[in-house]
Chain A
Amino acid sequence: MTLVTTPSAELGSARGRIWTSLRHNPLGLAGGIMLLVVALLAILAPVIAPHGPAEVNFDAPFQAPGTVGYLMGTDDLGRDIFSRMIYGIRVSLQVGLLSVALAVVIGTPLGLLAGYWRWLDGIISRLTDVTLAFPFLIIAVGLAAINGPSLANAALALGIAQIPTMIRVVRGETLRIKETDFVLAARTMDATGLRVIFGHVLPNAGSAIIVQATVIMPVAVIGEALLSFLGLGIQPPTASLGIMLSDAQQYISRSPTAAIFPGITIALICLGFNLFGDALRDALDPTNTSRK
C-alpha cells in the first residue's frame, strides 16, 4: 500500500521555471544559445566541416584566415583550422559528457547512502578524502603511466576527480530531504530505506545533480584541453582543442591565429556552461527568493 507519493511539483514545474527564469535572465539565455550552437557543431561535424580533421595540404601551410576554402586559415601542415576546431569541440564534449556520466553514476549512489545512513557516512567520507588527496593532474599522470594516454583515460581522470564533489552535493541534499514531512510519512508507512532513497530522495535531489553537472562540464572541457596540451590526453593526429594549442605554440609568432581560435572556442564553451549553469541554479534553487 503506497498512498504516499513524492510531491512531484518540484520537478514537474522545473521546466517551466527554467523557461521563466531564462526569459528574465538574458545572460543565461545567451549561455543556453551558445551551448546549443556548440552542440550542433559537434553533432553535425562531418556535415559542416569543409575538410577532414587530419587532411594535410603541404601546398598551403600557414594560410591567413579568410583564404578561399579555409575560413580560419591553415596550420603548419596545411590542415584546415576551422574543420579541426569543429572536430575538437566534438572531442571536448565527448570527454565532458563521459566524465559527467562517471561522476553522476558513481557519486550519486554514494552520496545517497552517505546521507541516509550515518554509519556509512564515515567510510564514504574517508574514500572521498583519499580521492581528494590526489590532485586531478596527478590522477591523470598515474593513469597515463599505467594505461598510456588516451581519450578514455582523460575522461576517467576528470571523472574520478569530480566524484567527491558530486558525493558531497548529493549527500547534502539527502540530509535535507531526509527531514521533510513526506519522507517521514513514507517511513511511518514502513517504506524500506532503499524505497525511500530511490522513490523520494533521489527524484528531489535531481535538480541539484543537474546543476552540479553543469559545473563539471566546463571543468572537464578545460581539463581535456589541458591534458591533450600536455600530451596526457587525446593523441595526434586526432583533432583536439588542446593539441591545436600545443601545435600552435611552436609557431606562435608566425601564425598567432592558429592559437587564438581554439583558445576562444574553449573559453566560449566554458562561458556558455557557466552562464547557463548560473541561470539553472537560480531557477532550480528553492531557497532563491529573488526569482521573478
Chain B
Amino acid sequence: MTRYLLTRLWQSAITLILASLVVFVGVRQLPGDPALAMAGEEASPERLAEIRTQLGLDEPIATQYVTFVGNMLRGDFGASTRTGTPVTDLIATTLPVTLWLAGYALIVAIIVGILLGVIAERFRGRWPEWVANGFALIGLSVPNFWLGILAILYLAVTVPIFPASGYVPIGEDPLQGLYHLTLPAIILGTSLAAVIMRQTRASMIETMKTDYVRTARAKGLGRSRVLFRYGLRNSLIVVVTIVGLQLGGLISGAVVTERIFALPGFGKLTLDAVFTRDYPVIQAVVLIITVGYIVINLAVDLLYSVINPRIRVGGSN
C-alpha cells in the first residue's frame, strides 16, 4: 500500500512538472510581445528594454521558468490586462460558482445513475429496463448544450418552473441559490448519469454471477436484498472510477452550462479571457484547472485503492 502510494505520488509530481512546462512554453507562444503591449507602439527601444528587464524577459529561459513556478506557487497570477484586477480576485469570485454547480451535478448524476442502474438490473427484460437503457442512450448521444437550450425553452420559458438564468450566491440565500442551480446541475449531470447507469448495471450483472451471491441466494436471501447488499457495494467502486475518468468532461461541461445559463463562473471567466486575449487570466485558468485535475485524479486513485480490497491486497504483497 505504501509503495503504491509513493509510486502514485511520484508519478503525479512528474506530471505536474511536465504540465507546468507545457503551460510555460505555451504562454510564450501567445502572439504579441508583452513588453510592447505594456509600453505601447510608440515606446523607444530603451524603454522597451527597461520593461523587459522589469518583467524578467531578458533572463535565461530556465530562470524565467523558476520565477514563473515561484509566482504560481505563491498564488501570484498577475493582473488582468483588460481590467487590471488581480487574477486571484477574479478566481476567488468565479470558482465557487463552478464548484457548486459541478458538485450539485455530481450528486444528481450519482443518484440518478445508480438508481437507473439498479432498476435496469432488477427488472431485466421488462419495460423499466428499456426505459433506463433508452435514457442512457439519449444521455450519451444528445449533446448537453442542446439539452440545456431545450430545457430553458420548455422548463423556464414555456412552463416557468425554473429560472432561465441568473445566479444567487449559495452563501447569501441557500434556498434561492440551489433553486437557480437546479436546472443547470441536471443538464450538466445527464451524460455522467448515463455513463454511471451503464457501468452500474454492468457491474451488477457481474456481481450477480459470483459464487458469494449464489451462496447468499441459496441461504434464502431475496433478489432485491442481494442486489442492494452486494451489487450496490461493488458498484460504488465503479462509480468512483467513472467520476475520476469523467472529470475532464465535467469541467468542459461546466463551461458550456455556465455559458447557456449565463452563470458568472470559472467557465465564463475563461471564455471572456480568450475572446479579449487576456493572457494572465488564460494562463492562470489553464494552470489551476490542470493542477486541480491532476490532484483530484490522484485523490480518486487513492480513494479507489482504499475501497477496493483487491487493489489493497495486491499493493501490500
- Interface readout for A243-271 with B: 1 if CB under 8 Å, 0 if not? 00100110011001001101100111011
Q: Known A-B contacts: A137-B251, A222-B143, A230-B271. Give 20 more (CB < 8 A).
A: A129-B14, A129-B18, A130-B19, A134-B19, A134-B290, A135-B247, A135-B252, A136-B248, A137-B255, A141-B274, A142-B23, A142-B282, A142-B286, A145-B274, A225-B143, A229-B145, A230-B256, A249-B152, A270-B142, A274-B137
Separation of A186 and B290 alpha carbons in the complex (Å): 44
Q: Distance in Å from the Cβ of B182 to the closest Cβ of chain A? A: 20
The 9 tightest CB contacts between A and B, nearest first, are A263-B146, A135-B248, A137-B252, A270-B141, A271-B141, A130-B18, A267-B142, A129-B15, A133-B19
Q: How far is the CB of B245 from chain A (nearest CB, A)?
A: 10
Pairwise interchain contact A252-B153, C-beta atoms closer than 8 A: yes
Contact between A267 and B293, CB atoms less than 8 A apart: no
Are B149 and A249 touching (Cβ within 8 A)? yes
User: Can you name 16 A-B residue pairings with CB atoms under 8 Å?
Assistant: A129-B14, A132-B248, A133-B19, A135-B290, A138-B285, A141-B286, A144-B274, A146-B26, A146-B31, A226-B143, A252-B157, A259-B146, A263-B143, A266-B142, A267-B142, A270-B141
CB distance A229 to B256 under 8 Å? yes
**Contact A133-B15, Cβ < 8 Å, known A142-B26, A249-B260:** yes
Q: A267 with B146: in contact, given A141-B282, A226-B252 (CB under 8 Å)?
A: yes
Residues of B within 8 A of A (CB): 11, 14-16, 18-19, 22-23, 26, 29-31, 137-138, 140-143, 145-146, 149-150, 152-153, 157-158, 247-249, 251-252, 255-256, 259-260, 270-271, 274-275, 277, 279, 282, 285-286, 289-290, 293-294
A231 touches B271 (CB 8 A): yes
Query: A225, A230, A248, A259: which has the most chain B beta carbons within 10 Å?
Result: A230
User: With a CB–CB cut-off of 8 A, which chain B residues contact A146?
Assistant: 26, 29-31
Output the least CB separation between A130 and chain B (Å): 4
Contact B26 A218 (CB under 8 A): no
- In the assembly, what is the distance between CA of A225 and CA of B294, in Å? 27
Decide if B248 touches A145 in the complex (CB within 8 Å).
no
The answer to whether A136 and B145 have CB atoms under 8 Å apart is: no
Which residues of A in the span 268-289 have a Cβ within 8 Å of any Cβ on B? Answer: 268, 270-271, 274
**Binding site secondary structure of chain B:** helix
When chains A and B are docked, how far (Å) is the Cα of A141 from the Cα of B251?
13
Give chain B nearest CB distance to A81 CB in angstroms.
15
User: Interface residue count for A (Cβ, 8 Å)?
Assistant: 39
Residues of A within 8 Å of B26, CB to CB, are: 142, 146
A232 to B273, CA, bound (A): 12
| Separation of A256 and B152 alpha carbons in the complex (Å) | 11
Q: Which residues of B contact A292 (CB under 8 A)?
A: none
Q: Which residues of A contact B (CB under 8 A)?
A: 126, 129-130, 132-138, 141-142, 144-146, 218, 222, 225-226, 229-232, 245, 248-249, 252-253, 256, 259-260, 262-263, 266-268, 270-271, 274
Give bound CA distance, A226 to B248, whole Å: 14
Assess the B141–A218 pair: CB atoms within 8 A.
Answer: yes
A245-B145 in contact given A226-B252, A252-B153, A253-B153 (Cβ < 8 Å): yes
For B287, give the chain A residue with the smallest CB separation. Answer: A138
> Which of A222, A230, A259, A263 touches B255 (beta carbons < 8 Å)?
A230
Our pick among A133, A256, A274 for the contact of B140 (Cβ within 8 Å) is A274
Q: Please state if A135 and B152 are interface contacts (CB–CB under 8 Å).
A: no
Q: How far is the CB of B270 from chain A (nearest CB, A)?
A: 6
Inter-subunit contact A145/B149 (CB<8 Å): no
Q: How far is the CA of A253 from the CA of B157 in the complex (A)?
A: 7
